[in-house]
Structure 1
Amino acid sequence: MTEFIPPGTRYVDLPSPFPMKRGGALHGARLAYETWGTLDAARGNAILILPGLSPDAHAAANAADPAPGWWEAMLGPGKPIDTDRWFVVCVNPLGSCKGSTGPASIDPATGREYRLGFPDLSIEDGADAAHHVVRALGIERLACVIGNSMGGMGALAYLLRHPGARAHLNISGAALALPFSIAIRSLQREAIRLDPNWNGGDYDDDSYPESGMRMARKLGVITYRSALEWDGRFGRVRLDSDRRDDEDPFGLEFEVESYLEGHARRFVRNFDPNSYLFMSRSMDWFDLAEFCGTPRGDQGGDVLSALARIRVDKALAIGVATDILVPLQQQEQIAEGLRAGGADAAFLPLESPQGHDAFLVDFDRFGPAVRGFLDQL
């Protein structure tokens, strides 16, 4: 599988061996990252961004790579995350195929790709790896840890395992995976594994599980947005006759189907299927209550206890009312737990119609919220 790595990406070598939470260790592993802004003399203006499953480290244009990044509207001079003030570090998650060590990387013990030989991956492993990047950059105390989606999980794990940050901004994140999101991700993984070309994880560019990845991505995109947006954006508009395949009686017929197909095809050859499987499962496994040594209680009390162990001065948990994948009550829970630990923590529900992915597109709502929080630090 060919990796796509932006030209501005840099790397930190992780300790070797790098122990994994669920057993095993990585040797010769690395984490990819990019930076923006200037670290001040006191090294006190650093912000760490932990992204979701699919983004790389290139969150925005920088001197090394002027191409727009996945959070271009939010990060840069004068933008909500103002790089005239902040020194910003964004990492590519451990397990990914965008520069950090993952299943598509070479296992030094065999000289071949790890594939399914990659150690069981947890959110906590990614948090530990990100901490090594922070320390390698000479940063002793972060001004803020920002986590989006999967990165919101990683940020909570980071703050528990590596305390000391002044503030936390959690965007559409969660302290544990709920049954609905587990069910969706389980179907996504099943779609990949049932593709004959997946071949037990042993595939290449010529024999790639494209159908499975297409289905997995379509399932994901459906949950990343909301029914309200699907209706307003596409309605029941049908494709023009020249865009339909009349020889396929069950082929694409509606505009929404065409959108999903196009989105999936742009994704599939740019992401490693095994990486998708490992990272997806790491989210399902995540439960902050494990930090307390006991499983979550029926009412989530242990999660609140774990959140209360996080020590930050200030925090904001932002969610979206139309998010079905990581619903609002999960961000409300984060704010409640952090307050119990002594943080000045707020919960901000936004009325965006764009669902879970709103933080990637609804900058009119997210921009002021993020700017306002960081301006208070």
Structure 2
Amino acid sequence: MPTLTFDRHTLESGAVLRDVPVTYRTWGQLNAAGTNALVVCHALTGTCDVADWWGPLLGPGRALDTDRYFVVCANALGSPYGTASPLTPNPATGRPYGPDFPAVTIRDTVRLHHRLVRRLGVRHVAAVVGGSMGGMQALEWAFTGSFVQALVPIAVGGRHTAWQIGWSAAQRAAIAADPAYNDGQYTDEQPPAAGLAVARQMAMVSYRSQPSFDARFGRSLQHPGGDGAAGAAAPYAVESYLQYQGDKLADRFDANCYMALTRQMDTHDVARGRGAYDEVLASIAQPALVVGIPSDVLYPLREQEELARHMPRATLETLHTPHGHDGFLIALDALNDLLRPWLQTHVPAAA
């Protein structure tokens, strides 16, 4: 994947990152005016490869129409997939930052991505689209003023609540409790895989819903010969599923990156330093399609209703799926059908 490197990037905290790589992907062509860019923002453990997780939305005639738009997605700060993160060599030492990677915010990521798209020749962004952590970024893009024409925040609120911070904190505690974590000073040969796997298991419960789990697993045993009694060797099917998901993430992700990204999500608050929350939302001038999922227990629908109530040009749509927060990564055809007509109406075609 292509990477651009900036000499320096000053964070909200005042810390300065140097030799800052940003990994990204693009689809379609930028028009001569530089005004048909559509920025897509990935979720917590996602990558800039939109085709990998939103494939049915990407391509000619789809919501992310590559005949109309120059689609851009970049990895967030803290991500283990190429953008500056705990895995990146610290120019001062030549060794990876590890736990010494500076604290970053959603605003830090958006400002870096803003610089990236400008470097790519973009003069105005037609729309910014993202779900979950990507939705946080989409909302922050609103404060780049007239640079962005439209917003599509999905399955997110205007600020991280105590409920969401609590889930993040519990997952970080699971990682920190793994003896291999060693305050973040672990090696590639002995990473805190068990702690990261447990953190992912916890997250997966919050990403789904009770009806989704009940319909898929019920009280089924992974090995039908067992009886489900306490101490039985055969785990329930849902246990096996969570173990699989935990191990799968631990194989591809870095624990310090997970720590950095969840802390970054906890900084999300569009009103921080800007004024009263309701008034800040009311100041967002761009047309916005706010998408909520009624079965979402992590970012409940009332948070999207709140956004739509206060943002003066917002339209609320609901994505009906039993799968909870992860519905925006599962019910892709339905999501495409929500986004495509709205974008066609509110976001000009390429000139």
Compared CA separation, residues 241 and 229, structure 1 to 2 (3 A): closer
The equivalent of 2:58 in structure 1 is 75
* C-alpha distance in structure 2 between counterparts of 1:348 and 1:81, whole Å: 18
Q: In the alignment, residue 233 of structure 1 is paired with which amino acid?
A: R
* C-alpha distance in structure 2 between counterparts of 1:347 and 1:13, whole Å: 38
1:124-163 equivalence runs, <5 A: 124-161=107-144, 163=146
The equivalent of 2:296 in structure 1 is 323
Compared CA separation, residues 367 and 252, structure 1 to 2 (3 A): farther
1:27-106 equivalence runs, <5 A: 27-60=18-51, 69-106=52-89
The equivalent of 2:150 in structure 1 is 167
Task: Give 2:283's match in structure 1, choosing from 297, 304, 309.
Answer: 309
Find out whether 1:367 has 2:340 as its counterpart: no
1:227-246 equivalence runs, <5 A: 227-240=210-223
Q: Conserved in 2, the CA contact under 8 Å of 1:188 and 1:217?
A: yes
Structure 2 unaligned residues grouped into runs of 5+:
none
Find out whether 1:21 has 2:4 as its counterpart: no
Q: In the alignment, residue 71 of structure 1 is paired with which amino acid?
A: W
Q: In the alignment, residue 148 of structure 2 is paired with which amino acid?
A: A
SS where residue 265 of structure 1 aligns?
Answer: helix
* C-alpha distance in structure 1 between counterparts of 2:111 and 2:337, whole Å: 31
* C-alpha distance in structure 2 between counterparts of 1:21 and 1:91, whole Å: 20
Give the superposition deviation at 1:274: 0.5
The equivalent of 1:115 in structure 2 is 98
Task: Give 2:3's match in structure 1, choosing from 11, 14, 34.
Answer: 11
The equivalent of 1:65 in structure 2 is none
Compared CA separation, residues 254 and 283, structure 1 to 2 (3 A): same
Q: In the alignment, residue 51 of structure 1 is paired with which amino acid?
A: H
Q: How many pairs align? A: 344
Find out whether 1:284 has 2:266 as its counterpart: yes
* C-alpha distance in structure 1 between counterparts of 2:109 and 2:91, whole Å: 20
* C-alpha distance in structure 2 between counterparts of 1:172 and 1:251, whole Å: 38
Alignment TM-score, normalising by the size of structure 2: 0.94
Find out whether 1:332 has 2:301 as its counterpart: no
* C-alpha distance in structure 2 between counterparts of 1:94 and 1:147, whole Å: 16
Q: In the alignment, residue 333 of structure 1 is paired with which amino acid?
A: E
Give the superposition deviation at 1:22: 2.0
Alignment TM-score, normalising by the size of structure 1: 0.87
Query: 1:2-47 CA distances to partner (integer Å, 9 max, x unpaired)?
Result: xxxxxxx111222x33111123110001111100011122222110
Find out whether 1:262 has 2:236 as its counterpart: no
Q: In the alignment, residue 26 of structure 1 is paired with which amino acid?
A: L
Find out whether 1:193 has 2:167 as its counterpart: no
Task: Give 1:349's match in structure 2, choosing from 318, 330, 336.
Answer: 318
Give the superposition deviation at 1:119: 0.9
Compared CA separation, residues 208 and 178, structure 1 to 2 (3 A): same
Q: Conserved in 2, the CA contact under 8 Å of 1:131 and 1:162?
A: no
Deviates more, 1:49-58 or 1:161-170: 161-170
The equivalent of 1:5 in structure 2 is none
The equivalent of 1:179 in structure 2 is 162
Structure 1 unaligned residues grouped into runs of 5+:
1-8, 61-68, 294-301
Q: Conserved in 1, the CA contact under 8 Å of 2:139 and 2:158?
A: yes
Compared CA separation, residues 108 and 203, structure 1 to 2 (3 A): same
Compared CA separation, residues 277 and 162, structure 1 to 2 (3 A): farther
| Aligned-pair identity (%) | 35
Give the superposition deviation at 1:162: 5.1
Aligned-residue Cα RMSD (Å) equals 1.7
* C-alpha distance in structure 2 between counterparts of 1:78 and 1:94, whole Å: 31
* C-alpha distance in structure 1 between counterparts of 2:337 and 2:2, whole Å: 30
